[in-house]
Structure 1
Amino acid sequence: MAGNEPTAGYDEAAVERWAPEPDKRPGRTAFQRDRARVLHSAALRRLAGKTQVVTPGTVRLWDASPRTRLTHSLECAQVGRELGAALGCDPDLVEAACLSHDLGHPPFGHNGEQVLDEFAADCGGFEGNAQSLRLLTRLEPKRFVTDRTTGEMTSVGLNLSRAALDAAAKYPWARGGHPAGPAFRKFGVYEDDRRIFDWVRADAPARDRVCFEAQVMDWADDVAYSVHDVEDGLHAGHIQPSRLHSAADRREIFTVAVLDARYVPADTDPEELGAALDRLQAQEWWPHGYDGSAVDQARLKDATSQLIGRFCTAAETATRAAYGDGRLTRYKAQLVVPRTTRMECAVLKAVADLYVMQRAEQERLRADQRVVVAELAEALTARAPEGLDPQFAALFDAAADDQARKRVIVDQIASLTDASARALHARLTMQA
């Protein structure tokens, strides 16, 4: 059937959907359909209202357009699509995964994520990656089918192909199942989404093996946000390039990088990070003395392009050296990123973390955001289904127990933008 046949390098299992369906427009591949469904989803549009790093309205008047989760996802998709294509992946499949990777992020990003995880502790916790899977397979209203077990009409979300859902699974395990041990909190599935998750992972050779397309997506994400967060920080005036030569500032940067193994292993030698920063600063295109002028803006844009090319070319070259030519898909290879390249990427993340995210005004803002999410969760718990969108109000009424009802409240809050979370919080708390 047109639109459902496997493409080169992929078998029939890869293009299978949980709910079989014909294609309305013959001639498209299964992965073109997947990409289109994510691109046209309301969940992707909502990312326009979710902060990436620099909050809109906090930058210089001449540059009032910092990146949002949406623009980050679009840029990640462009990086991932080209890198994936160079390595033999289906480019539409990798792009669909990149567009999907942040869909589950709640308002206020990782800050909101932490509050929701605490609130949902007795119903499985909260994790943005697990929420993305839930959204793609259940919450985003695109396709309803008769449930194979209950006989009732149920949502299957966007009903993406198995390979697309697998490619979006950055952490393909349940809570506590991280291969590095339970102390690592990232996970990709809630227990009540286990049935479709097990279907997605049916052909994985190992329980925690991440498919090749997901590895490409993950590296594209790292590349995009490490480079662009620094670019936004420079535009906003929070990062001064000259400070990166200061011995005291460099010690702080390296401490941030290894803190709780945030960006590099905790035993990383600071000299290795120092060498990575020195290599970047030695490049002719590095934005020394950035002052916001038109010329310097152009130089900075060239620097972002140079960095992205540097990081992607290093991964492509190393991976090809390990696996040779040919199509690298699904479980046929592992993405190889040289350690020196990972260190350069990590030091950029640490720079943005120190100078942008750790500013005093940002901590005050985060404290306020935590109060908004916590009070919103409390208000909805007391008053739901009041305050819930019609979709979630119906799910709340149909929920079997208190844990299921709490999960619906979590789903509702996670779907909100920063502004709509504040608006709903104000409405419900003023009525209290």
Structure 2
Amino acid sequence: MSPVGPDARRWVDEPAKDTGQGRSAFERDRARVLHSAAFRRLAAKTQVHTAGTDDFLRTRLTHSLEVAQIAREMGSRLGCDPDVVDTAGLAHDLGHPPFGHSGEEALDALATTCGGFEGNAQTLRVLTRLEAKVIGPNGASAGLNLTRASLDAVSKYPWPRRTGERKFGVYADDHPVFEWLRADVPDGRRCLEAQVMDWADDVAYSVHDVEDGIHGGYVTLRPLLADADERAALSADVATTYSGESSSDLAEVLADLLADPLLASLSGYDGSYRAQTALKATTSALTGRFVAAAVAATRRRFGPGPHRRYAADLVVPREVRARCALLKGIALRYVLRRPGSAARYERQQQLLAGLVAGLADRAPEALDAVFAPLWRAAGDDAARLRVVVDQVASLTDPAAVQRHARLFGGPTDAGGWCDLG
């Protein structure tokens, strides 16, 4: 039976659908995300490694599928509606631009005069405005018009931009729908489903990026096993970037993590079938441990459940969170910061800067048919810039390179912009 009440309401009312399928409103949400153009484009957007450079490595699409699976399992064990957390996992990266976090940083700097750019705020914009599915009675797009519960579950950072904070979840001109989906919710508090999705994202990001790094030859555990100074440097990186723990406390957790036979067995990875099997066993075991620890700790504090929405908060034990952060730090130190990375990121950011400038100069003719009317209807320069940024953010990595080539000439392949370095 379809859920009723405010959680299942949509921003724009839709006529009842009698297809005989008996799907709930939340099942429809999941299907809408899964069948969206924005979701398909994730297949050619960078996760950590550039999309298309290796058949083994993850893209934003495969990462999102994995986050959804982890979130669905964890949420189901806590009593959340499985389709709500699944939808949140599938949708959480829809707003990410070409070239991953490098592209996000570039667009944020380029969009200063219209409120900046943030992948999570852009995700809300995609879901409620940019993706084609439902048109409201005023003729404006309502995006996928998901239910309140699903939109709230996608809101990892349910607040506007704050001074000194990089992460936020809504732009100024998207406040009306944001206020609707957050009705009667304390400022800044996240629903349980959003917390489950966020932890699933951290788990997938940390474990799978290390798996990809080991398989690609960028990550080897031998220096960490042999060199105390290298362990201290990694712990300092993590304390600065991913964790509120001190570097000395993280160093102790790292020592325990490296002593785990699961990780120690990967120090001689050679890409063979046996080695890949051991690597996959390690990633599966780590994922299972991180999920089980959060489920058990949440149940200890809030009871067996079922829990959903604002009836409980996800509890992740301190040491488990630190272990996850250390794995993220391994990917940061040995993959994202590998030799040649800084020059590659600079090339990518220059490309996006050129795209924004070129499209703004030649708009609306140079914009896609979806964005050109929005540019014409924009009331000022800031609003027009936001439309251009929306256009650029929607592009895949290769499409950004090709669009740049059409505007300015040059190669249409991604090699010079996206090489592994």
TM-score range, shorter chain: over 0.9
The 3 A distance-change label for structure 1 pair 196 and 57 is closer
Alignment correspondent of 1:239: 219
Give 3-state SS (helix, strand or coil) of 1:18's partner.
coil
Structure-2 separation of matches of 1:56 and 1:82: 27
Q: By how many angstroms is 1:430 displaced? A: 2.7
Equivalent residue, structure 1, for 2:396: 417
Read off the aligned partner of 2:67 and give its amino acid letter. C
- Given residue 12 of structure 2, which amino acid in structure 1 is its aligned partner? A
Query: Per-residue deviation at 1:117?
Result: 1.1
1:10-409 matches, within 5 Å, as 12-21=5-14, 22-26=16-20, 27-56=22-51, 64-147=55-138, 153-176=139-162, 182-204=163-185, 206-245=186-225, 246-259=227-240, 262-265=241-244, 268-286=245-263, 287-409=266-388
Alignment CA distance shift 1:137-1:383 (3 Å): same
Structure 1 residues 283 and 374: alpha-carbon distance in aligned structure 2, compared to 1, 3 A threshold: same
Counterpart code for 1:249 = E
Q: Distance in 2 between matches of 1:395 and 1:269?
A: 48
Q: Could you tell me how far 1:271 is from its partner in structure 2?
A: 3.0
**1:55-110 deviations in whole A, cap 9, x for unaligned?**
24655xxxx33100000000000000000000000111000001111000000111
C-alpha separation in 2, matches of 1:24 and 1:243: 61
**Secondary structure in structure 2 of the residue aligned to 1:76:** helix
Aligned to 2:419: none
With 40-49 and 393-402 compared, the bigger mean Cα shift is at 393-402
CA contact (8 A) 1:56 1:65 kept: no
- CA–CA distance in structure 2, aligned partners of residues 423 and 190 of structure 1: 28
Do 1:172 and 1:187's aligned partners in 2 also have CA atoms closer than 8 Å? yes
Whether the aligned pair in 2 keeps the contact of 1:241 and 1:290 (CA below 8 Å) is: no
The separation in 2 between residues aligned to 1:173 and 1:86, in whole angstroms, is 28
Give 3-state SS (helix, strand or coil) of 2:136's partner. Answer: strand
Query: TM-score normalised to the size of structure 1?
Result: 0.91
**Alpha-carbon shift at residue 256 of structure 1 (Å):** 1.3
Check conservation: 1:387, 1:424, Cα contact below 8 A. no
- The answer as to whether partners of 2:154 and 2:194 remain within 8 angstroms in 1 is yes
Matches of 1:422 and 1:372, distance apart in 2: 8
Gap runs ≥5 in structure 2: 411-421
Structure 1 counterpart of 2:38, which letter?
A: A
Give me the whole-angstrom Cα distance separating, in 1, the residues matched to 2:70 and 2:19.
28
SS in 2 for 1:144: coil
Partner Cα separation in structure 1 for residue 359 and residue 300 of structure 2: 54
CA contact (8 A) 2:239 2:250 kept: no
Letter in 2 for 1:202: A
Q: Does the residue aligned with 2:262 lie in a helix, a strand or coil?
A: coil
Deviations 1:380-422 (A, max 9, x none): 1111113211000111112122111111001000000000001
Counterpart Cα distance in 2 of 1:297 and 1:194: 47
The alpha-carbon deviation at position 185 of structure 1 amounts to 1.5
Superposition RMSD on alpha carbons, in Å? 1.4
Number of aligned positions between the proteins: 405
- AA paired with 1:368? R
Distance 1:82 1:314 in 2: 13
Give 1:9's aligned residue. none
Amino acid at match of 1:164: S
Do the aligned residues in 2 keep the contact of 1:231 with 1:300 (CA within 8 Å)? yes
Conserved 8 A contact 1:106-1:416: yes
* 1:283 Cα offset (Å): 2.5
User: CA separation in 1, counterparts of 2:145 and 2:402?
Assistant: 32
Tell me how far apart the structure 2 counterparts of residues 236 and 387 of structure 1 sit (CA, whole Å).
38
- Report the alpha carbon displacement of residue 270 of structure 1 after superposing the two structures with TM: 2.4
CA distance in 2 between partners of 1:388 and 1:52 (Å): 26
In the superposition, the TM-score normalised over structure 2's length comes to 0.94
CA distance in 2, matches of 1:292, 1:276: 28
Aligned equivalents of 2:377 and 2:18: distance in 1?
32
Runs of 5+ in structure 1 lacking a partner?
7-11, 148-152, 177-181
Give the % identical residues.
Answer: 54
- C-alpha deviation, 1:24, in angstroms: 4.8
CA distance in 1, matches of 2:12, 2:223: 55
> What do the CA deviations read for 1:332-359 (whole angstroms, capped 9, x no partner)?
1110000000110000000110000001
Shift of 1:288: 3.1
